[in-house]
């Protein structure tokens, strides 16, 4: 008997929790059912698919997205790793935070947003990152794609050390 669908191409009902969704290994879902949870718009998916097609790639195999009868289908086995690497939005610095609140956060934030709350400029922090070997591990600062980002768990310890020691 000929099989039309791969084992990971069976339609499932997606969970309502982001981490539960991102832990799934198989199944397909309608994009409309997960777009709010992922915080991305269908235009983003459309652009990713168009970009892959322009490179003669297969979006179903690269992105895990396919448009059929005006509905975007998402193949979780392929889409979730792609989403985590290319599409997952970075957390934003809450405008109500002060520097101390920021330094108690976890996660990765854009350097520009972090520097707005600190007594250091983003230029000063970038300079330290450029001159430090493996700055991602020691300072928690690195260039990711086209912007510098900050891992607050590591960065906070570094800021405390330099502020207390005044070096």
The answer to whether residue 5 scores a pLDDT higher than 90 is no
Residue from 76, 67, 15 nearest 42 by CA: 67
Instruction: Specify the DSSP class assigned to residue 87.
Output: I
Question: What confidence tens digit (pLDDT) does each residue in 115-164 have?
Answer: 999 999 999 999 999 999 999 999 999 988 778 999 999 999 999 998 88
The predicted model scores a pTM of 0.62
CB 47 within 8 A of CB 64: no
Interatomic CA distance for residues 54 and 75, integer angstroms:
20
Give residue limits of the domains in the chain: 18-87, 99-165
- Mean pLDDT computed over 103-116: 92
Which residues are CB-contacts of 44 (< 8 A; sequence separation ≥ 6)? 87
CB 28 within 8 A of CB 21: no
- Mean pLDDT computed over 48-68: 94
Question: What confidence tens digit (pLDDT) does each residue in 70-106 have?
Answer: 999 999 999 999 998 888 877 889 989 999 999 999 8
Residue in this structure with the two tokens 């998402």, named with its chain if needed: 74
């Amino acid at each position: 008997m000929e099989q039309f669908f791969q084992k990971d191409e069976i339609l499932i009902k997606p969970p309502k929790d982001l981490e539960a969704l991102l832990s799934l290994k198989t199944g397909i879902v309608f994009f409309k059912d997960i777009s709010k949870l992922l915080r991305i718009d269908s235009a983003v998916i459309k652009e990713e698919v168009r970009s892959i097609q322009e490179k003669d790639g297969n979006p179903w195999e690269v992105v895990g997205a396919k448009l059929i009868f005006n509905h975007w289908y998402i193949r979780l086995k392929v889409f979730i790793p792609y989403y985590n690497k290319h599409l997952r939005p970075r957390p934003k610095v809450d405008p109500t935070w002060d520097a101390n609140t920021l330094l108690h956060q976890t996660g990765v934030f854009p350097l520009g947003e972090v520097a707005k709350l600190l007594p250091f400029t983003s230029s000063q922090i970038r300079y330290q990152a450029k001159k430090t070997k493996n700055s991602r591990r020691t300072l928690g600062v690195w260039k990711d794609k086209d912007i510098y980002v900050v891992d607050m768990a590591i960065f906070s310890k570094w800021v405390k050390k330099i502020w207390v020691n005044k070096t």
